[in-house]
């Protein structure tokens, strides 16, 4: 089990805009970790572990705030359909926790609400770290969309998804090859003492409580298809965007368009990197993130 998952405290917190399920880990400057599709607070903790590692930028630990976004696990979808409404809910959560400006780290489908948070609540956002994120209109690939009704049907069969999770744990390389095409890179990532356990935890988490992850995922797919293609700019806060040029889920063009809209955005292009480049190229990403965080005026 990844370190932050083992140390985290999880609860459903009542905010001014509604209940939010959130995991909290460690102390220090706050980091809001926003998960992607088929995610939840558990994947937010995996994201934080992958991006931050241990003591980032020599600052020691961070106060990781990993919510389940609306429609995921214990956070109801309610009226929080669009990124702007989700961003306001993120701000309400930080208010309820009494936390000051936070660094926001987002992956994949967490991108739109992270961007909206920075625009709508700039005084609450110390900076953005975007990893393989959607930044505008996204037509989800057919092979990815096809998994949703399949998972919905599988969730209705008692014991089937726990069995699938068990098989995934027993055959991690077979599961990982769906996300990492290169066999050698797949084996190297799974063998890494830090990236390997995180990748396995990520793979297994999708199949745990899958039915409770589907409403948020389906909402993301529907809403993202109607977003403007090009992001607004400039952002108004420091931004580091990490994106693989070989991403088959969220094309690299999403990072390029963000950079075009705001030339101040730092872009770390990962040559040939896929959607899980945060794990396949974790050491390089962490080094760039440490340098980025070192320049932020964190409390």
Full pLDDT tens readout for the chain, 299 residues: 566 666 788 999 999 999 999 999 988 999 999 999 999 999 999 999 999 986 444 445 899 999 999 999 999 999 999 999 999 999 999 999 999 899 999 999 999 999 999 999 999 999 999 999 999 999 877 777 777 777 777 777 777 777 777 777 777 888 888 889 899 999 999 999 999 999 999 988 888 888 899 999 999 999 999 999 998 888 999 999 999 999 999 999 999 999 999 999 999 999 999 999 999 999 999 999 999 999 998 86
Q: What's the pLDDT at 293? A: 95
In a domain, 299, yes or no: no
CB-count burial class (<10 Å; 0-12, 13-18, 19+) for 170: exposed
pLDDT in tens, 105-156: 999 999 999 999 999 999 999 999 999 999 999 987 777 777 777 777 777 7
Domain holding 219, by residue range, is: 3-294
pLDDT in tens, 268-289: 999 999 999 999 999 999 999 9
What total of structural domains would you count in the chain?
A: 1
Q: Name residues whose C-beta falls within 8 Å of residue 172's C-beta, 6 or more positions apart in sequence.
A: 190, 196, 199, 200, 203
Q: What is the CATH number of the domain that holds 156?
A: 3.40.50.1820
241: phi then psi, degrees, rounded to nearest 5: -110, 125
In a domain, 237, yes or no: yes
CA–CA gap between residue 261 and residue 102 (Å, rounded): 23
In a domain, 87, yes or no: yes
In a domain, 280, yes or no: yes
């Amino acid at each position: 089990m990844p370190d932050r998952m083992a140390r985290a405290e999880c609860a459903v917190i009542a905010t001014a805009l509604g209940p939010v399920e959130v995991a909290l880990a460690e102390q220090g400057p706050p980091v809001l970790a926003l998960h992607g599709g088929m995610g939840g607070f558990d994947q937010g903790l995996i994201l934080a572990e992958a991006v931050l590692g241990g003591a980032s930028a020599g600052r020691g630990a961070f106060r990781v705030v990993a919510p389940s976004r609306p429609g995921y696990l214990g956070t109801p979808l309610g009226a929080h359909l669009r990124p702007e409404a989700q961003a306001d809910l993120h701000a309400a959560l930080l208010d309820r926790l009494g936390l000051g400006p936070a660094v926001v780290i987002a992956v994949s489908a967490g991108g739109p609400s992270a961007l909206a948070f920075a625009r709508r609540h700039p005084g609450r956002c110390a900076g953005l770290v975007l990893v393989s994120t959607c930044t505008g209109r996204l037509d989800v690939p057919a092979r990815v969309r096809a998994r949703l009704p399949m998972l919905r049907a599988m969730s209705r069969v008692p014991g089937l998804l726990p069995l699938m999770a068990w098989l995934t744990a027993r055959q991690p390389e077979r599961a990982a090859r769906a996300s990492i095409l290169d066999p050698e890179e797949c084996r190297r990532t799974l063998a890494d003492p830090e990236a390997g356990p995180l990748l396995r935890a990520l793979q297994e988490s999708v199949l745990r409580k899958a039915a409770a992850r589907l409403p948020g995922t389906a909402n993301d797919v529907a809403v993202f298809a109607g977003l403007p293609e090009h992001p607004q700019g400039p952002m108004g806060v420091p931004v580091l965007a990490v994106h693989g040029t070989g991403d088959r889920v969220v094309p690299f063009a999403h990072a390029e368009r963000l950079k075009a809209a705001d030339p101040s955005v730092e872009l770390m292009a990962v040559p040939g990197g896929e959607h899980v480049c945060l794990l396949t190229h974790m050491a390089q990403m962490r080094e760039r993130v440490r340098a980025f965080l070192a320049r932020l005026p964190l409390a």
